[in-house]
C-alpha cells in the first residue's frame, strides 16, 4: 500500500463528487494536484491546499496516482487518450477512473495502460454528495489485485465500503448493477410519496414509519427528507442518471437481457429532463407526481 508520505495524487474533475473526495484526500495529508475545465470551480480547493495544474497532461506528469471523476464516457476518453493521461503519466503510475462509465472503455484503458507500464483501475463510487463529503463512499473496483492493494489506503481516505470486484471492467459492471437498483428504487420512492400525499397522510410521519422497515434504503433516508423540503439540488444529477441508465441498457442488450423496469425508469427521467430539470438531483423525479 501507499501512504500519504510517499505518493502524490492527481485528481481530474472537481464537481459535486470530486470536491468532497479531494477534501478527504487533503485531510489524509496527501499532496493533490488538481485540474478541471473551469479553473474558478477549483479555487476553493486550492485555498485549502490542493495544487492547481494547467492541464490534464501536467497533472499526469507530476502525479504517482491519477484519479478521474468526470461526466460522461466521452469525457473519460478525452482525458485518457489523444495527448491525455496515458501519454503523460510516468511508467509505474496508477490511474483510477472513478467516473460511472462503460465497462468496455475501462477494459480499453487497462489494456493501453498496461502497454505503457501504467496500472489502471476502474473504481466507480456510490453514496452521492453526502458520501463524498463524509468519506463514506462505496467504491467498486476492477483491475489487477496488485494495483488495488497498492492504492487501498487512498480509497480508504474517500470511502468505507471498498470491494475488489475482479478484472478490468468489473468495477463498472458492479456500478451498472447499482444504478439499476437506484433507478427502480427512485421510481418506487416517488410513486409511494405521491400515493401517501393523495391519501392525505403526513409524509414526515410516513417516512418515520417506513424508513427503518423492509422498505428502507439509502435513497429513502437521504433523499426522502429532501423531497419533503422541496430540496431538489443535485447530490447526483438527473442528466447523469440518464447517462448511467443508457449504459446499463446497452450492456443488458449485449447480454440478451430484457430490463423493462429500467427502460421505464429511463423514460420517466427523460421526461423530467425535457421539462428542464436535467441539472436537478435525482429526487426531482417527484416533480412528475406532485400537484
pLDDT greater than 90 at residue 59: yes
> Reduced to 3 states, what is the DSSP secondary structure of residue 274?
helix
Q: At what angle do helices 170-198 and 203-210 cross, to 10 degrees?
A: 130
Would you say 180 and 262 are in contact if contact means Cβ atoms under 8 Å apart?
A: yes
Write out the DSSP string of 146-189.
HHHHHHHHHHHHHEEEEEEEESTTHHHHHHHHHHHHHHHHHHHH
Average pLDDT, whole number, for the chain? 95
Given the residues 27, 41, 91, 175, the one annotated as active site? 175
Would you say 150 and 246 are in contact if contact means Cβ atoms under 8 Å apart?
A: no
Query: Residues 105-140, buried b or exposed e (16+ Cβ, 10 A)?
Result: bbbbbbeebeeeebbbbbbbbbbbbebbbebebbbb
Q: How far apart are CA 243 and CA 72, in angstroms?
A: 7
The answer, as to whether pTM is greater than 0.95, is no
How many Cβ atoms from other residues are within 10 Å of residue 103's Cβ?
Answer: 22
Q: Please enumerate in sequence order all residues whose Cβ is within 8 A of that of 142, keeping only pairs 6 or more positions apart, or say none.
A: 103, 106, 121, 122, 123, 165, 166, 167, 168, 169, 170, 171, 172, 173, 174
Q: How far apart are CA 185 and CA 268, in angstroms?
A: 13
Domains in the chain, CATH or no CATH each: 9-167 (3.40.50.720), 173-288 (1.10.1040.10)
The residue-averaged pLDDT of 198-217 equals 96
pLDDT greater than 70 at residue 218: yes
> Reduced to 3 states, what is the DSSP secondary structure of residue 67?
strand
- The beta strands (E) that lie in the chain are given as 9-12, 32-35, 51-52, 65-68, 94-97, 119-122, 125-126, 137-142, 159-166
pLDDT in tens, 121-155: 999 999 888 899 999 999 999 999 999 999 999 99
Would you say 122 and 176 are in contact if contact means Cβ atoms under 8 Å apart?
A: no
**Alpha carbons within 13 A on the beta-carbon side of 54:** 0
pLDDT in tens, 87-110: 999 999 999 999 999 999 999 999
Please report which confidence band the pLDDT of residue 58 belongs to, taking 50, 70 and 90 as the band edges.
Answer: very high
pLDDT greater than 60 at residue 4: no
Would you say 3 and 151 are in contact if contact means Cβ atoms under 8 Å apart?
A: no
pLDDT greater than 70 at residue 118: yes
Active site annotation includes 243: no
- CB burial of residue 78 (10 Å; 0-12, 13-18, 19+): middle
Extract the C-alpha cell encoding 284: 426531482
pLDDT greater than 60 at residue 3: no
**Residue keyed to cell 502497454:** 115
Q: What is the pLDDT of residue 128?
A: 86
Please report which confidence band the pLDDT of residue 41 belongs to, taking 50, 70 and 90 as the band edges.
Answer: confident
Amino acid at each position: 500500500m501507499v501512504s500519504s508520505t510517499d505518493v502524490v495524487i492527481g485528481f481530474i474533475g472537481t464537481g459535486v463528487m470530486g470536491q468532497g473526495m479531494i477534501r478527504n484526500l487533503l485531510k489524509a495529508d496527501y499532496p493533490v494536484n488538481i485540474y478541471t475545465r473551469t479553473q474558478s470551480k477549483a479555487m476553493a480547493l486550492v485555498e485549502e491546499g490542493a495544487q492547481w495544474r494547467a492541464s490534464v497532461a501536467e497533472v499526469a506528469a507530476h502525479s504517482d496516482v491519477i484519479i478521474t471523476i468526470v461526466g460522461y464516457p466521452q469525457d473519460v476518453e478525452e482525458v485518457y487518450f489523444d495527448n491525455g493521461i496515458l501519454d503523460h503519466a510516468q511508467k509505474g503510475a496508477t490511474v483510477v477512473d472513478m467516473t460511472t462509465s462503460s465497462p468496455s472503455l475501462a477494459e480499453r484503458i487497462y489494456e493501453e495502460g498496461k502497454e505503457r507500464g501504467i496500472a489502471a483501475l476502474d473504481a466507480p463510487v456510490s453514496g452521492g454528495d453526502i458520501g463524498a463529503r463524509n468519506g463514506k463512499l462505496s467504491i467498486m473496483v476492477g483491475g489487477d489485485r496488485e494495483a488495488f492493494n497498492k492504492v487501498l489506503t487512498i480509497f480508504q481516505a474517500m470511502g468505507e465500503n471498498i470491494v475488489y470486484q475482479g478484472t478490468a471492467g468489473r468495477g463498472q459492471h458492479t456500478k451498472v448493477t447499482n444504478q439499476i437498483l437506484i433507478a427502480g428504487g427512485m421510481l418506487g420512492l416517488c410513486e409511494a410519496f405521491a400515493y401517501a400525499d393523495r391519501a392525505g397522510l403526513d409524509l414526515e410521519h410516513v417516512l418515520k414509519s417506513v424508513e427503518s422497515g423492509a422498505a428502507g434504503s439509502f435513497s429513502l433516508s437521504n433523499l426522502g427528507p429532501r423531497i419533503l423540503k422541496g430540496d431538489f439540488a443535485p447530490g447526483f444529477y438527473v442528466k447523469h442518471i440518464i447517462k448511467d441508465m443508457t449504459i446499463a441498457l446497452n450492456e443488458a442488450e449485449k447480454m440478451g437481457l430484457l430490463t423493462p423496469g429500467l427502460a421505464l425508469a429511463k423514460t420517466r427521467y427523460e421526461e423530467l429532463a425535457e421539462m428542464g430539470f436535467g441539472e436537478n438531483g435525482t429526487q426531482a423525479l417527484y416533480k412528475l407526481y406532485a400537484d
